[in-house]
Amino acid sequence: MQSKNYILIICFIFFFANNTFGQVSQQQIQKIDSLFIPWNVSNHPGGSVLVSKNGKNIFSKSYGLANIEYNIPNTKNTLFNIGSISKQFTAMGIVLLEEKNKLSFDDNIRKYIPELPNFTKAITIRYLLHHTSGLRDLHGLLGLAGWRSGDLETNDDVYRIIKNQKELNFKPNEEFLYSNTGYILLAKIIENISQSKFDEWMKQNIFKPLGMKHTYVETSLDNIITNNATSYYLQEEFKRASEYWGYFGSGNIHSTVGDLNIWLQNFSKPQNNWESAFSKLLLTTPLNNGFKTDYGFGVRIEDYSGKKVIQHGGSVGGFRSIARTFPEEQFNIVILTNYSRSNIRSKANMISDIILDRSKDMLTNTTTKVARAPANFIKLSNKKLSEFEGIYWSDEEKIGRKIYIKNDTLRYSSSDKNEWPLVPIDQHTFLMIRSSVKPIIKFDSKKHQMTIKTGNDLPGVFNFLQSNLDKNTDDLNMFTGNYYSPELKTIYSISIDDKFNIYLEHARHGIIKLKQLYNNIFSGDWPIGIVEIKKNKEGKVIGLRMSNGRTRNVWFKKVIRF
């Protein structure tokens, strides 16, 4: 009899522990609520927040106004544009077609969009999903082509521009570089295979089956949908964000915190017949050099305080969004807002810390991981150090670095205000002395390169550009003339004024003043970014390349007449 009572007691304890594990205290709820108090003031936009644990909502609240003009408050049913969180839904569309044997992740995308250029190496669907295709990003391309800030950008615009591209940012799967263009093409693949409109196909095959009743793809800014929030920029005061985002596939899905929480729950407890599909969203593929990225199919798979986290953020207009899940803890966070300076990533981190109770961890684990410094340094002469002096240029990042001797020590400079000493480890390798991280700098005299390695990251490669540190070319007149891009069907002109200021002019962007960075490299305001003047062997200017973030090296040929 006693043994039976003992078993009953053990069962009761197990049941009680199992049902109280993960419960949230009132103090934790108050801490979460306090993070969003600044949103609940007069004439202020805000957003909606939902936190769930073990399949139950533990915090759900809305703040501020969905529309300032009409004083309409945000509610749990308010729809927000979720920006790039949309990518995982497009990726799921591809996964579902793959499971029906309609495509393979390793298919050449020209199989489904044959009008695309035939680049030297095939771009696969997998590369589009992972952002490793090398395709230039739509915003930079359209900007250089003449689109101004606020101009409508549509899928048709992207298709038209991409068909004229002759080059990529890099060879497929050589790098990871986030590209909205890739996900717009994925939407096109879904439409071409299914012979259905993307928005309707997503509704019937993803949103409706999963019970996401409020979620939809916005394919036209003319549509009138109730409960949609208006987005705002915040500078000195709130300004309404103009709606230029007319593209879909890479973004432009509207949803609620409740619907996104339904979606996130599938990463820990998938609904019936969805296990395989959600597991495939977590597939990753190493780059050609073996480096492993943390980007799956439309989601980032990362580590947060030693715990696995699957997440993605979104940003378009004034909308900001984040959807985060800790699948092993069955813990989800969704924050959707309608103003630009809502700072939601840090708020998501604070909510994570509150629920995971990281207070003890933060007290005991405050150190930052740095590269281990070598035990011994060596001494190099100034003559030897002078071999490394000069300006080095990264063609990937489009940034320059100055290396020079100062007080018998080699220095590394990223700007006029930032300078760090380099301590030699061997004849060609140095440790950069910085407070938080200590990168390893290595010079290769045969390749005329400098590499920078920090922790487990891929090394950054900088090519030797010029030996003179301060003097830029005085002969700016050789740069004047017209430059035409066959990829963008547009023309820019370079001119010099009587004070030797240099300008770039475009029919839509007007006159933009350039700043000379190095001998043949200039910078300018958006959409210009970086301008690299190119010469032939005889020193004659033959053209230029423009880069602006995720769009690199667009070629403009110098033309005498146009």
418's enclosing H/E stretch is strand 418-424
**DSSP category for residue 228:** B
Ordered DSSP codes for 134-146 = -PPPHHHHHHHHT
Give burial (CB, 10 Å; 0-12/13-18/19+) of 480: middle
Which CA distances in Å does 469 have to 138, 404, 416, 465? 35, 8, 12, 10
Whether pTM > 0.85 for this model: the answer is: yes
> What span, in angstroms and rounded, lies between the C-alpha atoms of 308 and 299?
13
The CA-based angle 120-121-126, given to 5 degrees, is 150
Domains and CATH numbers, the chain: 80-134+169-363 (3.40.710.10), 382-466 (2.40.128), 476-559 (2.40.128.50)
- Give 466-524 as a 3 state SS string: ECCCCCCCCCHHHHCEEEEECCCCEEEEEEECCCCCEEEEECCCEEEECEEEECCEEEE
What are the residue ranges in the chain where pLDDT is below 50? Answer: 1-21, 360, 362-371
The CB density around residue 53, as the number of other CB atoms within 10 Å, is: 18
By C-alpha distance, which of 170, 166, 146, 149 is closest to 157?
A: 146
Task: State the pLDDT at residue 57.
Answer: 96
> What span, in angstroms and rounded, lies between the C-alpha atoms of 247 and 483?
29
Task: State the pLDDT at residue 371.
Answer: 44
Give phi and psi for 306, each to the nearest 5: 80, 5
- Burial track 346-379 (b if 16+ CB lie within 10 A, e otherwise): ebbbebbbbbbebeeeeeeeeeeeeeeeeeeeee
